[in-house]
Amino acid sequence: MRIPNLLGHESPGEAVQQSASWLPLLARECHPDARMFLCSLFAPICLDRFVSPCRSLCESVRDSCAPIMACYGYPWPDILRCDKFPDDHLMCISSVTNTSVTSGGPTRVPRASCRDCELEEASSAKVLLETFCRSDFVVKLRLTRLTSSPLTLAQFSLASRLQVLKHGPLLGGQIRSRLQLWLDRDATCVRNMTRRHPQGGSFLVTGTVQGERLVINKALAWSKRDRNLMAAARKWKQHRCRG
Q: Per-residue pLDDT tens for 174-230? A: 888 888 888 876 766 787 888 888 888 999 999 888 777 788 888 999 999 999 999
pLDDT for 167 beyond 60: yes
List the CATH number of the domain containing 230: 2.40.50
Residue where a domain terminates, one of 90, 114, 138: 114
Low-confidence winner among 130-134, 207-211, 233-237 (lowest mean pLDDT):
207-211
Which residue range(s) make up the domain with 99?
1-114
- Identify whether residues 103 and 146 lie together within a single domain: no
- Smallest CA-to-CA distance from 76 within 85, 86, 67, 84 is with 67
Domain for residue 108, yes or no? Answer: yes
Q: Per-residue pLDDT tens for 17-62? A: 888 878 777 777 788 899 999 999 998 888 878 889 999 999 999 9
- Identify whether residues 109 and 151 lie together within a single domain: no
The model scores a pTM over 0.75: no
- Identify whether residues 108 and 1 lie together within a single domain: yes
Q: How far is CA 51 from the centre of its chain?
A: 29
Indicate the angle between helix axes 55-70 and 34-42, nearest 10 degrees. 110
* Count: domains in the chain: 2
Domain for residue 190, yes or no? Answer: yes
How far apart CA 23 and CA 26 sit, in angstroms, is 5
